[in-house]
Amino acid sequence: MTAPTLKKRITELGAELTQRYKEEKDLVIICTLKGSILFVADLMREIDLPLEVDFISVASYHGGLTSGQLQVVHGMTTQITHRPVLIVEDIVDTGRTLKKLKEMISEGNPRSIEVCALLDKPSRRLVEIEADYVGFTIEDLFVVGYGLDYQQRYRNLPYIGVLSDPQ
Ligand SMILES: O=P(O)(O)OC[C@H]1O[C@H](OP(=O)(O)OP(=O)(O)O)[C@H](O)[C@@H]1O
Ligand code: HPA
Ligand SMILES: [Mg+2]
Protein backbone atom coordinates (compact mmCIF):
# COMPACT_ATOMS: atom_id res chain seq x y z
CA MET A 1 0.00 0.00 0.00
CA THR A 2 1.64 3.17 -1.16
CA ALA A 3 1.51 6.46 0.74
CA PRO A 4 -1.01 7.98 -1.73
CA THR A 5 -3.24 4.88 -1.44
CA LEU A 6 -3.21 5.20 2.35
CA LYS A 7 -3.93 8.91 2.20
CA LYS A 8 -6.89 8.48 -0.13
CA ARG A 9 -8.53 5.79 1.99
CA ILE A 10 -7.92 7.70 5.24
CA THR A 11 -9.56 10.78 3.73
CA GLU A 12 -12.62 8.64 2.95
CA LEU A 13 -12.68 7.18 6.47
CA GLY A 14 -12.40 10.66 7.96
CA ALA A 15 -15.37 11.87 5.94
CA GLU A 16 -17.43 8.85 6.98
CA LEU A 17 -16.56 9.35 10.65
CA THR A 18 -17.33 13.06 10.44
CA GLN A 19 -20.83 12.18 9.22
CA ARG A 20 -21.22 9.50 11.88
CA TYR A 21 -20.28 11.69 14.83
CA LYS A 22 -21.45 15.13 13.70
CA GLU A 23 -24.58 15.12 15.88
CA GLU A 24 -22.67 13.91 18.93
CA LYS A 25 -20.72 15.98 21.36
CA ASP A 26 -17.56 15.04 23.17
CA LEU A 27 -16.08 12.46 20.83
CA VAL A 28 -13.12 10.66 22.36
CA ILE A 29 -10.63 8.91 20.13
CA ILE A 30 -8.56 6.24 21.83
CA CYS A 31 -5.42 5.33 19.98
CA THR A 32 -3.59 2.12 20.76
CA LEU A 33 0.15 2.56 21.03
CA LYS A 34 2.43 2.13 19.35
CA GLY A 35 1.26 0.80 16.01
CA SER A 36 -1.61 3.26 15.47
CA ILE A 37 0.27 6.52 15.93
CA LEU A 38 0.71 7.40 12.27
CA PHE A 39 -2.81 6.30 11.41
CA VAL A 40 -4.45 8.32 14.19
CA ALA A 41 -2.36 11.39 13.37
CA ASP A 42 -3.57 11.33 9.78
CA LEU A 43 -7.12 10.18 10.53
CA MET A 44 -7.86 12.82 13.17
CA ARG A 45 -6.90 15.56 10.75
CA GLU A 46 -9.62 14.26 8.43
CA ILE A 47 -12.32 14.33 11.11
CA ASP A 48 -13.86 17.75 10.97
CA LEU A 49 -15.29 17.84 14.49
CA PRO A 50 -14.21 18.83 17.99
CA LEU A 51 -12.64 15.79 19.61
CA GLU A 52 -10.31 14.63 22.31
CA VAL A 53 -7.58 12.08 21.78
CA ASP A 54 -5.96 9.77 24.31
CA PHE A 55 -3.58 6.87 24.13
CA ILE A 56 -3.51 3.45 25.64
CA SER A 57 -0.53 1.19 25.48
CA VAL A 58 -1.21 -2.51 25.20
CA ALA A 59 1.20 -5.03 23.81
CA SER A 60 0.56 -8.59 22.80
CA TYR A 61 3.17 -9.30 20.16
CA HIS A 62 6.11 -8.16 22.26
CA GLY A 63 7.92 -7.27 19.07
CA GLY A 64 7.59 -10.63 17.39
CA LEU A 65 5.33 -12.42 14.97
CA THR A 66 2.89 -14.23 17.22
CA SER A 67 0.34 -12.94 19.66
CA GLY A 68 0.81 -13.71 23.37
CA GLN A 69 -0.51 -12.30 26.62
CA LEU A 70 -2.10 -8.86 26.50
CA GLN A 71 -0.34 -6.38 28.76
CA VAL A 72 -1.58 -2.89 29.58
CA VAL A 73 1.57 -0.85 29.70
CA HIS A 74 0.09 2.60 30.01
CA GLY A 75 -3.53 3.48 30.73
CA MET A 76 -5.45 6.60 29.77
CA THR A 77 -6.60 9.53 31.84
CA THR A 78 -9.58 10.83 29.86
CA GLN A 79 -13.02 10.59 31.45
CA ILE A 80 -15.13 8.58 28.98
CA THR A 81 -18.36 8.11 30.93
CA HIS A 82 -21.40 8.83 28.69
CA ARG A 83 -19.18 9.89 25.82
CA PRO A 84 -18.93 8.33 22.35
CA VAL A 85 -15.63 6.48 22.05
CA LEU A 86 -13.86 5.59 18.83
CA ILE A 87 -11.01 3.13 19.19
CA VAL A 88 -8.39 3.56 16.50
CA GLU A 89 -6.35 0.45 15.75
CA ASP A 90 -3.72 -0.16 13.11
CA ILE A 91 -4.63 -3.82 12.61
CA VAL A 92 -7.10 -6.46 13.76
CA ASP A 93 -5.37 -9.81 13.42
CA THR A 94 -6.39 -12.58 15.86
CA GLY A 95 -8.75 -10.01 17.41
CA ARG A 96 -7.50 -10.67 20.94
CA THR A 97 -6.15 -7.16 21.52
CA LEU A 98 -9.31 -5.48 20.34
CA LYS A 99 -11.59 -7.79 22.30
CA LYS A 100 -9.74 -7.15 25.56
CA LEU A 101 -9.53 -3.46 24.84
CA LYS A 102 -13.25 -3.15 24.18
CA GLU A 103 -13.99 -5.00 27.43
CA MET A 104 -11.68 -2.70 29.38
CA ILE A 105 -13.06 0.47 27.82
CA SER A 106 -16.68 -0.53 28.33
CA GLU A 107 -15.98 -0.66 32.07
CA GLY A 108 -15.65 3.13 31.86
CA ASN A 109 -19.33 3.26 30.81
CA PRO A 110 -19.08 5.20 27.53
CA ARG A 111 -22.21 6.13 25.52
CA SER A 112 -20.96 4.07 22.58
CA ILE A 113 -17.83 2.26 21.47
CA GLU A 114 -16.90 1.85 17.84
CA VAL A 115 -13.67 0.75 16.22
CA CYS A 116 -11.86 2.07 13.21
CA ALA A 117 -9.05 -0.22 12.03
CA LEU A 118 -6.74 0.60 9.17
CA LEU A 119 -6.14 -3.08 8.38
CA ASP A 120 -8.22 -6.19 8.92
CA LYS A 121 -6.88 -9.75 8.58
CA PRO A 122 -10.13 -11.74 8.99
CA SER A 123 -8.56 -15.09 8.08
CA ARG A 124 -6.49 -15.00 11.29
CA ARG A 125 -9.32 -14.31 13.70
CA LEU A 126 -9.33 -16.41 16.90
CA VAL A 127 -12.03 -14.50 18.77
CA GLU A 128 -15.27 -13.09 17.47
CA ILE A 129 -14.82 -9.36 16.96
CA GLU A 130 -15.11 -6.93 14.06
CA ALA A 131 -14.14 -3.33 13.50
CA ASP A 132 -16.95 -0.99 12.51
CA TYR A 133 -14.80 0.86 9.98
CA VAL A 134 -11.97 -0.81 8.06
CA GLY A 135 -9.44 0.79 5.75
CA PHE A 136 -8.25 -2.32 3.95
CA THR A 137 -8.92 -6.04 4.29
CA ILE A 138 -5.71 -7.98 3.78
CA GLU A 139 -4.49 -11.54 3.34
CA ASP A 140 -2.69 -13.55 6.00
CA LEU A 141 0.68 -11.86 5.57
CA PHE A 142 2.79 -10.10 8.18
CA VAL A 143 2.89 -6.44 7.22
CA VAL A 144 5.12 -3.62 8.39
CA GLY A 145 5.37 0.13 7.94
CA TYR A 146 3.15 3.15 8.61
CA GLY A 147 3.30 2.42 12.34
CA LEU A 148 3.39 -1.39 12.13
CA ASP A 149 6.55 -3.05 13.35
CA TYR A 150 8.55 -6.21 13.32
CA GLN A 151 10.70 -6.22 16.47
CA GLN A 152 10.08 -2.47 16.81
CA ARG A 153 11.53 -1.73 13.37
CA TYR A 154 9.95 -0.36 10.20
CA ARG A 155 7.33 1.81 11.92
CA ASN A 156 8.69 4.87 10.13
CA LEU A 157 8.13 3.57 6.61
CA PRO A 158 5.59 5.87 4.92
CA TYR A 159 3.96 2.89 3.17
CA ILE A 160 2.85 -0.63 4.18
CA GLY A 161 4.67 -3.64 2.83
CA VAL A 162 4.85 -7.37 3.43
CA LEU A 163 7.73 -8.61 5.54
CA SER A 164 9.26 -11.05 3.10
CA ASP A 165 11.78 -13.00 5.12
CA PRO A 166 11.26 -12.62 8.87
CA GLN A 167 14.43 -13.51 10.81
O1 LIG B 1 -5.54 -8.85 16.69
P2 LIG B 1 -4.27 -9.15 17.44
O3 LIG B 1 -3.72 -10.50 17.05
O4 LIG B 1 -4.41 -9.00 18.90
O5 LIG B 1 -3.16 -8.15 16.91
C6 LIG B 1 -3.34 -6.78 16.70
C7 LIG B 1 -2.57 -5.94 17.65
O8 LIG B 1 -1.19 -6.33 17.63
C9 LIG B 1 -0.35 -5.24 17.34
O10 LIG B 1 0.13 -4.61 18.50
P11 LIG B 1 1.48 -5.03 19.26
O12 LIG B 1 1.15 -5.90 20.41
O13 LIG B 1 2.46 -5.57 18.26
O14 LIG B 1 1.98 -3.65 19.82
P15 LIG B 1 2.52 -2.36 19.01
O16 LIG B 1 1.31 -1.65 18.47
O17 LIG B 1 3.26 -1.57 20.02
O18 LIG B 1 3.41 -2.88 17.91
C19 LIG B 1 -1.26 -4.28 16.60
O20 LIG B 1 -0.82 -2.96 16.73
C21 LIG B 1 -2.60 -4.49 17.23
O22 LIG B 1 -2.80 -3.67 18.35
O1 HPA C 1 0.84 -8.16 10.30
C2 HPA C 1 1.20 -7.54 11.33
N3 HPA C 1 2.25 -6.68 11.32
C4 HPA C 1 2.66 -6.00 12.41
N5 HPA C 1 2.10 -6.11 13.59
C6 HPA C 1 1.06 -6.96 13.68
N7 HPA C 1 0.31 -7.25 14.75
C8 HPA C 1 -0.60 -8.11 14.36
N9 HPA C 1 -0.47 -8.41 13.05
C10 HPA C 1 0.57 -7.68 12.60
MG1 LIG D 1 3.77 -4.71 17.17
Interface predicted TM-score (ipTM) over 0.95: yes
Q: Which ligand is nearest to the CA of 148?
A: 2
Is residue 84 within 6 Å of ligand 1 at its C-beta? no
SS3 track for 22-45? CCCCCEEEEEEECCCHHHHHHHHH
What predicted TM-score, i.e. pTM, was given to this entire model?
0.93
pLDDT per residue over 54-91, tens digit each? 999 886 665 555 655 676 767 788 899 999 999 999 99
CA angle 12, 16, 18 (to 5 degrees): 115
pLDDT at position 164 is: 84
Distance 28 CA to ligand 3 centre (A): 23
